[in-house]
Amino acid sequence: MSDTFTNELIEKTDIVSVIGEYVQLKKEGSGYSGLCPFHNEKSPSFKISTTGQYFHCFGCHAGGNVISFLMKHNHMTFKEAQEFLAKRLGIPIPSYSKLTPQQVQERNSAKTKHELMHECLKQAQSFYIDMFAKSHEAKSYIEKRGLSDETIKKFGIGWSGSEYRNLAHKFPNYDDKILVDVGLVIQKEDSSKYDRFRNRVMFPILNDRGQIIGFGGRTLGDEKPKYLNSPETEVFHKSDELYGLFENKKGINTSKKALVVEGYMDVISLNQHGIDFAVATLGTATSQSHLRKLYRYTSKIIFCFDGDEAGKNAAWKALNESLLVLDERHELRFLFLPSDHDPDSYIREFGRAKFTKFIESSLSLTKFWLNELKSRFRLDEAEGRASCINFVRPMLRNVRKSAMKTQIEREIASLLQLTHEEFLKDLGIDFEGAKKTFPAQISKRSFSQPKVRKQVESLERKFIKLVAMKPSITNKISSNVLVFLNLLPKYRLVYELITLIRKHNIEVFSQLFNINEISSDLKIVLESIISNEFDEIEDENSESLLQSILIKVELELLDSQIQKLASNKDMDDSKKTLLLQGLSQRFNFLKNH
């Protein structure tokens, strides 16, 4: 479909009407606002500009047009989003055959490298499936695991073959660089090449749109490594992807939960036995990215680990990672299998009913957390309780302020024989949730941290409006300040705006809209300035306002650096103390001037 058709869809679609079906919107100036559907928040930072047909979130910085919203929120492909809008508008979809020669050329030339990579992986998958059908040993192995033909087909299980250049049978141009780029072929220092996967049962790894992005291969014997994944590529990032998510999306939505396991065969075997809501990480620990991805589909995640020490350690790592995205809207639970079982072996031996009942016995995050604290510290002794407080302090710092955090604090306080207030005092947290954690070597009175986090949104808005309305003021911004802005992700739009103003010699606000490379995120922010959706800036001298803003930005950077340095356990204490004192002095100087 041509760009003309895409533009027609965007222009004719009422973006407020579409997004309003998923987000409760409120009129604000000439636009609308609401709670962002892409991250957790209590105050609305999600804005829609009706004049520009764009959305933008000041919290997580998601933004774009109605098509990008549908792709991000509904997990649609670009084509699916187009078809959705076309059907909604009653506009016929132009067929490929009706395109002019020029449109055909545009379509063909628009094929990106990523599309070519996906096509290459798809062809390899077809080859592996054909090889599986011819391999007695591969089929015998899978049959012994109890997988049906239907399951084998559903998950696209294949066989790599044993030759060093087996893929040359599928790809006559075996030297094509793209085979290396997608991780199918390894190139040695002498430029010779060979297949990455040999003598392995192959499991295609799909993203949540159903595109093949990589493979996992398992040996039939005891060769090492037993499991081998595709390397990191432009389309495959192990710490972001979950095996089985695409295949089990429907089951996750229906059951309203996701079960996180450790292996491909766990996901596949569970699915065959009717547990169609399992996913697996790809040889990496559970990450925030994994959790956020799953939370798009369900609010309940259950981690399933082996009951041995390694399983407990993996569960503890998952708990720590989950604290960064935790709030009362999300439920996290932990399930530990008997030490002699994994999910695959357990469900094959005991069946679906018992496994389902076993899931129901999973521990809540708080229960697991408390159990671990009991096992790690002697809480019947004052010294043990004091050590426990120091241990949980950095963990609680990672939990955003919420009703859930308050409940966790109360539970831990009770465990430590403290009132909630006493516990917070020992943690160095005031009742408003401002975090005041200091290294032992520096007195808490030596400096006080600003309540920068509460000012972030208004500060970013004020900064953008000041720079956009008075482009010449960017001459007053030093290269060091630009470095600060680039280090703080929250100010990426400010950094982009200043860079564009300097690059294109912008003199007046209206010229900004003539810049082709301006991002959609920044464009909607600038349009919202026009429609008075920004907070008003007090009528004061622009240069003094700029200095005030820059001081606050540097304070925020210092705050971040102090926190990071204070939690660094690898640095020599004397060196850390010296650096912290230097940062503290600068912090106090800025705060008091």
Query: Tokens in use for 507?
Result: 């003199």
Q: How many CB atoms lie within 10 A of CB 224?
A: 7
Asked if pLDDT for residue 128 goes beyond 90, the answer is yes
**Least confident residue range of 89-103, 246-260, 571-585:** 89-103
Question: Between the ranges 73-77, 84-88, 363-367, 452-456, where is the mean pLDDT highest?
Answer: 363-367
Look at residues 420, 75, 122 and name the one whose alpha carbon lies nearest to residue 242.
75
Topology of the domain covering 3-108: DNA Primase; Chain A (3.90.580)
Asked if pLDDT for residue 298 goes beyond 80, the answer is yes
Q: Where are the domains of the chain?
A: 3-108, 113-229, 245-370, 377-427, 452-592
Asked if pLDDT for residue 382 goes beyond 60, the answer is yes
Asked if pLDDT for residue 192 goes beyond 50, the answer is yes
Question: What's the predicted TM-score (pTM) here?
Answer: 0.59
What is the rounded CA–CA span in Å between residue 466 and residue 462?
A: 6
Q: Are 186 and 194 in contact (CB under 8 A)?
A: yes
3-state helix, strand, coil in the chain (%, to 5): 55, 10, 35
Q: Are 198 and 161 in contact (CB under 8 A)?
A: yes
pLDDT band with cut points at 50, 70 and 90 for residue 108: very low
What is the rounded CA–CA span in Å between residue 122 and residue 376?
A: 49
pLDDT band with cut points at 50, 70 and 90 for residue 205: very high
- The predicted pLDDT at position 530 comes to 53
Query: What DSSP assignment string belongs to 454-472?
Result: GGHHHHHHHHHHHHHH-GG
| Residue 546 backbone phi and psi in degrees, to 5 | -60, -45
Angle at 496 between CA 477 and CA 114, to 5 degrees: 155
Q: Which long-range contacts (CB under 8 A, 24 or more apart) does 391-399 make?
A: 392/427, 393/427, 393/428, 393/437, 394/437, 394/567, 395/320, 395/323, 396/323, 396/427, 396/429, 397/435, 397/437, 398/320, 398/323, 398/324, 399/323, 399/324, 399/326
Q: Which residue has the higher pLDDT, 434 or 466?
A: 466
What is the rounded CA–CA span in Å between residue 148 and residue 153?
A: 9
Asked if pLDDT for residue 487 goes beyond 60, the answer is yes
Asked if pLDDT for residue 316 goes beyond 60, the answer is yes
Give tens-digit pLDDT for 396-409.
888 877 788 899 99
Give tens-digit pLDDT for 221-242.
888 899 999 999 988 988 889 9
Segment 307-318 shows an average pLDDT of: 88
Look at residues 384, 383, 382 and name the one whose alpha carbon lies nearest to residue 374.
384
Segment 296-316 shows an average pLDDT of: 89
What is the rounded CA–CA span in Å between residue 57 and residue 46?
A: 4
- The predicted pLDDT at position 440 comes to 33
Residues 6+ apart with CB under 8 A from 275: 259, 347, 352, 355, 356
Q: Which residue has the higher pLDDT, 333 or 584?
A: 333
Topology of the domain covering 452-592: DNAb Helicase; Chain A (1.10.860)
Asked if pLDDT for residue 151 goes beyond 70, the answer is yes
CATH number for region 113-229:
3.90.980.10
**Least confident residue range of 158-172, 350-364, 476-490, 566-580:** 566-580
C-alpha distance from residue 416 to each of 377, 378, 535 (Å) = 11, 10, 45
Average model confidence (pLDDT) across the chain: 82
Tracing tokens 């959305």 back to the chain, one arrives at 55
Which strand (E) or helix (H) includes residue 183? none
Asked if pLDDT for residue 494 goes beyond 50, the answer is yes
Look at residues 477, 503, 498, 493 and name the one whose alpha carbon lies nearest to residue 525.
493
C-alpha distance from residue 352 to each of 118, 347, 399 (Å) = 35, 6, 35
Query: What DSSP assignment string belongs to 102-126?
Result: HHHHHHHHT--HHHHHHHHHHHHHH
Cβ-in-10-Å burial (0-12, 13-18, 19+) of 286 comes to buried
CATH architecture of 245-370: 3-Layer(aba) Sandwich (3.40)
Query: What DSSP assignment string belongs to 341-361?
Result: --HHHHHHHHHHHHHHHHHHT
